[in-house]
């Protein structure tokens, strides 16, 4: 959302925001793009623009009463629907719609899903009269966290929103949504931001060598920032390929297993690109060991895909990381020899 200084939360959202405000026709929008590029922030900013009470708003003014209520997370016409597990990290822990006493006792893990009762509450909210006269707005993030029942409960409202209600769905995996949900929303695509803008944004947040971590995160600046906060740095990342080629577990041991598998998949991807004569994408070219043979790398990629499916429930993380490291060493060590024509072998 736009702050009192009029600045956007993420500088690369400027063009997509202008574009979305100029082209939106539907009462339900689906903002989609790769994870970590700011779908949620764009959804909130669009909601703020719709609710903004400044007469000239081609974007939210940031200072009117309505904009300030959005900033304070207490606008009576805005409902932000997040899975429980995301409310705290996204700073949206209003608690006023969280009336179930058990939820606060901390007895169970916060849900990662958007539940059907929450969708029903959002629908009821959309049906009430607008308090400030600019309609009701519901933001649902991430929309792919709705299960089939939740999504079905929302369909009718998406098709015919009550009164002047509008819905904003944000999503990093549109394929995971029901086609019937997708078809009822106007799509607002959000692309990876420009590398220079994203690197500057990361540098402003004290990330050293930001372009290295940006590449490590596949160009997704919010993910890169999250990694930096969790302790990843450019030196560690750059050292990883050669460490693994030597069979050293090294800094891998410090990360949770799903992250380890993700790192290895990126290394495998880059090693395969190198083997095929291309340039690496996630690691600096100078950090890569010499090109390896394609076939063992492909086998490694398949093994990693299998590990990724089980990474959430490892039986023994230490042993698993060791065996993954050994797998990496073998795949990276197989020399990429050119086949020698049979008749030059002599004998
Ligand atoms: Zn305003």
Assigned domain for 131 exists: yes
Determine the distance separating the centroid of ligand 1 and the alpha carbon of 137, expressed in angstroms.
15
Q: Do 184 and 252 have their domain in common?
A: no
d(CA 128, CA 233): 49
* pTM of the predicted structure, to 2 decimals: 0.83
Assigned domain for 198 exists: no
Domain extent for 102 = 11-189
Model pLDDT, residue 333: 87
Q: Do 69 and 179 have their domain in common?
A: yes
Assigned domain for 140 exists: yes
Strands annotated E in 176-328: 186-189
- Both tokens of 103, joined, read 């939820």
Q: Do 174 and 119 have their domain in common?
A: yes
pLDDT greater at residue 204 or residue 250? 204
Determine the distance separating the centroid of ligand 1 and the alpha carbon of 52, expressed in angstroms.
4
Query: At 45, which CATH number?
Result: 3.40.50.300
Q: Do 178 and 267 have their domain in common?
A: no
Determine the distance separating the centroid of ligand 1 and the alpha carbon of 75, expressed in angstroms.
12
pLDDT greater at residue 341 or residue 244? 244
Q: Of 334, 329, 336, whose CA–CA distance to 246 is shortest?
A: 329
Q: pLDDT of 134-181, one tens digit each?
A: 999 999 999 999 999 999 999 999 988 888 899 999 999 888 899 999
Assigned domain for 213 exists: no
Q: Do 135 and 259 have their domain in common?
A: no
Q: pLDDT of 101-112, one tens digit each?
A: 444 455 678 899
What does the angle CA 201 – CA 207 – CA 213 come to, to the nearest 5 degrees?
90
Query: 60 by DSSP, 3-state: which?
Result: coil
Determine the distance separating the centroid of ligand 1 and the alpha carbon of 236, expressed in angstroms.
44
Q: Last residue of some domain: 124, 155, 189?
A: 189
Assigned domain for 44 exists: yes
């Amino acid at each position: 959302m736009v702050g009192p200084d009029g600045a956007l939360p993420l500088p690369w959202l400027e063009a997509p925001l202008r574009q979305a405000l100029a082209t939106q026709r539907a009462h339900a929008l689906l903002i989609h793009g790769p994870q970590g590029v700011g779908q949620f922030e764009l959804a909130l900013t669009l909601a703020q623009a719709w609710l903004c009470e400044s007469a000239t708003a081609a974007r939210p003014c940031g200072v009117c009463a309505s904009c300030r209520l959005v900033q304070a997370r207490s606008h009576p016409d805005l409902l932000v629907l997040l899975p429980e597990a995301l409310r705290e990290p996204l700073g949206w822990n209003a608690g006023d719609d969280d009336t179930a006493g058990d939820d606060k006792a901390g007895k169970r893990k916060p849900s990662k899903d958007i539940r059907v009762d929450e969708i029903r509450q959002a629908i009821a909210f959309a049906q009430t009269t607008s308090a400030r006269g600019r309609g009701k707005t519901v933001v649902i993030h991430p929309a792919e966290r709705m299960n089939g029942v939740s999504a079905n409960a929302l369909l009718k409202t998406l098709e015919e929103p009550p009164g002047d209600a509008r819905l904003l769905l944000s999503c990093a995996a549109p394929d995971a949504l029901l086609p019937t949900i997708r078809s009822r929303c106007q799509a607002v695509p959000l692309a990876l931001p420009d590398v220079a803008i994203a690197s500057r944004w990361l540098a402003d947040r004290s990330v050293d060598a930001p372009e290295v971590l940006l590449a490590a995160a596949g160009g997704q600046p919010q993910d890169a920032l999250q990694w930096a906060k969790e302790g990843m740095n450019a030196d560690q990342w750059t050292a990883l390929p050669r460490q693994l080629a030597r069979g050293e577990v090294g800094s891998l041991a410090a990360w949770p297993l799903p992250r380890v598998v993700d790192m290895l998949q990126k290394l495998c991807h880059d090693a395969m690109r190198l083997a095929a004569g291309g340039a690496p994408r996630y690691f600096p070219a100078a950090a890569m060991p010499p090109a390896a043979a394609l076939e063992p790398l492909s086998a490694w990629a398949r093994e990693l895909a299998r590990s990724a499916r089980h990474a959430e429930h490892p039986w023994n993380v230490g042993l698993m990381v060791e065996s993954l490291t050994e797998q990496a060493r073998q795949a990276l060590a197989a020399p990429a020899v050119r086949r020698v024509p049979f008749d030059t072998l002599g004998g």
